[in-house]
């Protein structure tokens, strides 16, 4: 059996002995009821026999290390957040411990457990796979961390850094409305994700402000990936009354929209306007360059470090949720629809 370097039984040890995942041990240890009775009894027996306490060791002195749990180092979205965080740590004489979670719940749980097991002073967790209950349990054990861009709503006093998704989406949609577009398609991210739902509210809010009812036929759900954006755009553009503009909820999917438009022989922006979200480096090198909503990604990383250090220095945190401003960046992928241009 492996154990932590201080000899204490860890959650990984319990998971291995019980033959279950770390997430299952976490659920049992935190009194969750969504575990089969036999599995629960097995985990509880291992906990009793090996003295797993579920609490964090008392650290004698700071390590100067801060964990950064992030799904991927690339694409640019994650790289920019990581760049901001690591630069802020460097300026403060601290060092990052990088953990790539690859969007795996069990992998993330295992990696964060290691960070919290005395190896680091605290952590920044980007787009976490863990549930709100799991994250709150982590904090209740005394480990300090900040969540950047949460997948779902997190309560219970967890410090969160996010962008003003709804405001940014409203700006993007309002821009297209001002150009004269009335059939504006939207390609969202996964249903239920906070970024998806907030951007969708901004899109719908801008339409309502212009006296337009949201049309479900103009909304397609995708996965924040290029191919997902291409498939969703191809579906929208193949409809009997297709949109004259498409707002993709990130730049990656907007690139997929450009590919779908090209495949149908449509010119951007003459035949179709396209807007993205994020303002990653790719937005400036597409043909044409993308109109998009800029998220302050590097600043999100820097702000997360600042908020974490306030915790580590026992300073008061107020507010617990910080939303950073987004703003529209207009480039060459948007123009008035053909019908409006002909009138003008």
The predicted-structure confidence for 257-300, as pLDDT tens digits, reads as follows 999 999 999 999 999 999 999 999 999 999 999 999 999 999 99
Report the DSSP pairing between strands 219-221 and 184-188: parallel
**158 prior amide bond cis, ω within 30:** no
Q: How far apart are the C-alpha atoms of 8 and 168, rounded to whole Å?
A: 47
> Mind listing the pLDDT tens digit for each residue in 79-137?
999 999 999 999 999 999 999 999 999 899 889 888 887 789 999 999 999 988 888 88
Q: Would you place residue 175 in the very low, low, confident or very high pLDDT band (cuts 50, 70, 90)?
A: very high
- At 114 the pLDDT is 85
H or E element, residue 219: strand 219-221
| Sequence-distant (≥ 6) Cβ neighbours of residue 5 within 8 angstroms | 118
Tokens for 312?
């580590």
- At 269 the pLDDT is 98
pLDDT of residue 40 exceeding 70, the answer is yes
Provide the mean pLDDT of the chain.
90
- At 146 the pLDDT is 96
**CATH homologous superfamily for the domain 165-295+328-343:** Response regulator (3.40.50.2300)
pLDDT of residue 56 exceeding 80, the answer is no
pLDDT of residue 28 exceeding 70, the answer is yes
Report the DSSP pairing between strands 327-329 and 292-294: antiparallel
- At 97 the pLDDT is 96
- At 60 the pLDDT is 47
Helices (H), 67-218: 76-91, 105-114, 132-140, 165-179, 194-209
What is the CATH code for 65-162+297-325?
3.40.50.2300
Q: Kindly report the number of other CB atoms within 10 A of residue 72's CB atom.
A: 15
Q: Would you place residue 324 in the very low, low, confident or very high pLDDT band (cuts 50, 70, 90)?
A: very high
- CATH 3.40.50.2300 range(s) for the chain read 65-162+297-325, 165-295+328-343
> Mind listing the pLDDT tens digit for each residue in 131-158?
888 888 887 777 899 999 999 988 767 8
């Amino acid at each position: 059996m492996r154990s932590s370097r201080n000899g204490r039984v860890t959650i990984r040890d319990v998971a291995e002995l019980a033959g279950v995942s770390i997430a299952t041990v976490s659920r049992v240890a935190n009194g969750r009821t969504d575990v089969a009775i036999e599995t629960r009894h097995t985990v509880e027996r291992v906990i009793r026999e090996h003295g797993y306490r579920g609490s964090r060791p008392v650290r004698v002195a700071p390590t100067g290390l801060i964990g950064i749990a992030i799904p991927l180092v690339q694409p640019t979205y994650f790289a920019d957040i990581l760049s901001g965080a690591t630069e802020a740590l460097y300026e403060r004489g601290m060092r990052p411990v990088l953990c790539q979670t690859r969007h795996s719940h069990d992998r993330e749980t295992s990696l964060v457990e290691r960070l919290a097991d005395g190896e680091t002073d605290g952590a920044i967790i980007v787009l976490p796979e863990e549930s709100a209950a799991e994250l709150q349990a982590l904090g209740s054990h005394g480990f300090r961390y900040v969540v950047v861009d949460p997948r779902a709503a997190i309560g219970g006093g967890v410090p969160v850094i996010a962008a003003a998704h709804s405001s940014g989406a409203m700006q993007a949609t309002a821009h297209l409305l001002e150009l004269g577009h009335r059939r504006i398609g939207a390609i969202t991210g996964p249903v239920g994700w906070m970024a998806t739902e907030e951007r969708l509210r901004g899109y719908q809010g801008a339409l309502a402000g212009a006296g337009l009812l949201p049309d479900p036929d103009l909304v397609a759900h995708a996965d924040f990936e290029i191919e997902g954006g291409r498939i969703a755009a191809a579906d929208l553009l193949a409809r009997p009354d297709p949109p004259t503009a498409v707002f993709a909820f990130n730049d990656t999917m907007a690139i997929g929209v450009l590919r779908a438009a090209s495949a149908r022989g449509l010119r951007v922006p003459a035949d179709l306007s396209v807007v993205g979200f994020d303002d990653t480096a790719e937005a400036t090198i597409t043909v044409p360059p993308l109109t998009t909503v800029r998220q302050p990604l590097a600043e999100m990383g820097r702000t997360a470090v600042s908020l974490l250090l306030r915790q580590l220095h026992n300073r008061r945190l107020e507010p617990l949720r910080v939303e950073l401003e987004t703003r529209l960046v207009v480039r060459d992928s948007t123009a008035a629809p053909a019908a409006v241009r002909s009138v003008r």
